[in-house]
């Protein structure tokens, strides 16, 4: 959750809610009046939150909110994301509700900053429109013309995964490697999982073959990973750095494999 010393829309609304009666829309009278936005016409709760954000960052609003940038908010986005993960893993309904709200608020925050940043100038409606078009485009088996000769069909989740890569290539024609678009800032284990999948995709690895380490359950796997970290710590080594170093080497091998595959057809045609 956000730093309690920093005023936010959620903390302000929560504090006021204890001293004011809620209106039909759910916003206390005092807070609703203070927003200063037109919320007539049965606004949705999301409209109300967008209005709260706009009021906080407008002239005469909250100085802290007004001073924030995309860069300054990164730490909060990361923190809120991990707190959401905790809520999901614990299965606490109230925590999940709250943490989803915190992540949503971060999205609205960045969209409002973009709306007032020269060169960016998009708002949350543009974000939603872009995502809607993206999801419709990536699900032709749902939204496309099923009678067309080129219509795609999907009966299983694996069928969908099978043609998503083709759709992504159409969206990002500038990407030439299976590694393009992978965030290097991902947690190392998540990055390892992603890179192993890409290595298998280009034929560098066959993950169907059993490896040197066999585990029968996630509990056993977790215990093994913890033992590895404990061993590295006892020997003064950094497990995170070690894994990231190995992953950089794996990425190099993947790129070399891709280059070799691209050169092979050229040699054959030249011969």
The CATH number that domain 9-121 falls under is 1.10.287.1080
CB 39 within 8 A of CB 32: yes
Closest CA to 225 of 237, 211, 239: 239
Q: Given this model, what pLDDT does residue 162 score?
A: 73
Section 207-217 average pLDDT: 82
The residue whose two tokens read 């908010």 is 73
Domain ranges of the chain: 9-121, 138-175, 185-207+218-271
Q: 140 CB contacts (<8 Å, ≥6 apart)?
A: 151, 152, 167
At 41, the pLDDT band (50, 70, 90 cuts) reads low
Q: Given this model, what pLDDT does residue 34 score?
A: 53
**pLDDT, tens digit, 9 for 90 and up, residues 162-191:** 777 777 777 777 778 889 989 998 899 999
Q: Which residue has the higher pLDDT, 188 or 210?
A: 188
**pLDDT, tens digit, 9 for 90 and up, residues 91-135:** 999 999 999 999 999 999 999 999 999 999 999 999 999 999 989
CB 70 within 8 A of CB 128: no
The SS3 assignment for 187 reads coil
**pLDDT, tens digit, 9 for 90 and up, residues 226-257:** 999 999 999 999 999 999 999 999 999 999 99
pTM above 0.85, yes or no: no
pLDDT value at 152 more than 60: yes
Q: Given this model, what pLDDT does residue 173 score?
A: 75
163-191 burial string, b = 16+ CB within 10 Å, else e? eeeebeeeeeeeeeebbeeeeeeeebeeb
Mean pLDDT, the chain, rounded, equals 83
């Amino acid at each position: 959750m956000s730093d309690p010393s920093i005023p936010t829309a959620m903390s302000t609304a929560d504090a006021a809610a204890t001293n004011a009666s809620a209106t039909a829309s759910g916003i206390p009278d005092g807070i609703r009046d203070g927003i200063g936005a037109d919320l007539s016409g049965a606004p949705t709760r999301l409209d109300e939150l967008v209005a709260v954000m706009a009021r906080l960052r407008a002239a005469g609003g909250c100085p802290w909110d007004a001073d924030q940038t995309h860069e300054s908010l990164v730490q909060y986005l990361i923190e809120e994301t991990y707190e959401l993960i905790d809520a999901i893993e614990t299965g606490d309904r109230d925590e999940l509700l709250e943490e989803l709200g915190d992540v949503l608020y971060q999205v609205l925050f960045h969209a409002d900053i973009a709306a007032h940043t020269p060169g960016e100038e998009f708002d949350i409606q543009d974000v939603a429109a872009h995502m809607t078009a993206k999801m419709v485009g990536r699900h032709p088996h749902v939204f496309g013309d099923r009678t067309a000769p080129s219509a795609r069909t999907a009966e299983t989740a694996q069928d969908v995964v099978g043609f998503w890569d083709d759709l992504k290539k159409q969206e990002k024609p500038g990407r030439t490697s299976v590694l393009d678009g992978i965030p290097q800032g991902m947690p190392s284990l998540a990055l390892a999982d992603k890179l192993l999948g890409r290595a298998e995709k280009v034929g560098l690895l066959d993950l169907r073959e059993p490896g040197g380490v066999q585990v029968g359950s996630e509990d056993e796997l977790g215990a093994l990973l913890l033992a590895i970290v404990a061993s590295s710590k006892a020997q003064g080594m950094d497990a995170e750095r070690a894994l990231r170093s190995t992953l950089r080497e794996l990425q190099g091998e993947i790129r070399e494999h891709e280059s070799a595959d691209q050169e092979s057809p050229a040699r054959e045609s030249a011969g």
